[in-house]
Amino acid sequence: MPELPEVESIVRQLQSGHRDAPPLPGMAIAGVTLRWPRHIAAPSAAGFRRRLRGRTIQEVSRRGKYLVFRLDQGFLLIHLKMSGDLIVQEAHVRRDRSERTVFRLGGGWELRFNDARKFGKVFLVDDPDEILGPLGPEPLDPRFTPAALRGRLAARRRVLKPLLLDQTFLAGLGNIYADEALYRARLHPRRMSHSLTTTEAAALWKGIRASLRSGLRHNGASIDWVYRGGDFQNYFRVYGRDGEPCRSCGTSIERIVLGQRSAHFCPRCQPERPT
């Protein structure tokens, strides 16, 4: 699933444009082709088409894993889920079979929501807080301090790795960056959140921000067909490296399942019981 760095990389391309496509702000939406109407979570598919026609995109931003399109009236929110990607393409280029929702723009361009597994969701709302309100803080926000993280950890009695994946606890982290952050912090993924000391919570804060910033520098990670253009996958320290040697101590990276999600860690660098 695209996480904060992957979504932010897409946002930057859509907001500023790139060599192969113009920026989206200022473009009007002439219409929408729904090849998979279940993409539309709110309003109804018919209402979505009607309300979106003629709207102008003013800004593209991100909140957690959501792309946020501020329109001249209302907000368009897109969650890429498991396999989503957004591509600006010239209208004459043949559409891929996985391009489920297509926004027809001015000047002969289209914004195409490519979603092979069909899990993505699209919302058209007047107030983005209707959808985004429950999300936790942004981990790269200057207001999110080590003390703030320590307080949130202490208030919950939960296993660390699943807690970091909870978007109401912290917005934008997924499997990749949670594993990488815990490794940097030298914390076992099975540690209980309330057991962390002030020093350990500060290390986790640093690990989260360092992992995300590294992902952003590399435009995210490209895994399978889910996301294109990033190369952070070449710099993973533990994620997806089970059986391979730890880059610090040489111990084999292990993989366990917590809350139906995988967790990768070094048993020597990240002991389950702190020494």
Q: Which residues are catalytic?
A: 2-3, 65, 261
Dist CA 199 CA 150 (whole Å): 9
CA 187 – CA 164 distance, rounded (Å): 12
Asked whether the beta carbons of 122 and 113 are under 8 A apart, the reply is: yes
Q: Give the dihedral sign, CA 41/47/49/53.
A: negative
* Rounded Cα–Cα distance for residues 132 and 172 (Å): 12
Q: What angle do CA 202, 208, 211 make, to 5 degrees?
A: 135
177 neighbors 216 (Cβ within 8 angstroms):
no
Which residues contact residue 161 at a Cβ distance below 8 angstroms, ignoring those fewer than 6 apart?
A: 178, 179, 182, 189, 190, 258, 259, 261, 263
List C-alpha distances in Å: 233 to 4, 236, 246. Answer: 15, 6, 15
Copy the structure tokens of residue 41.
């979570």
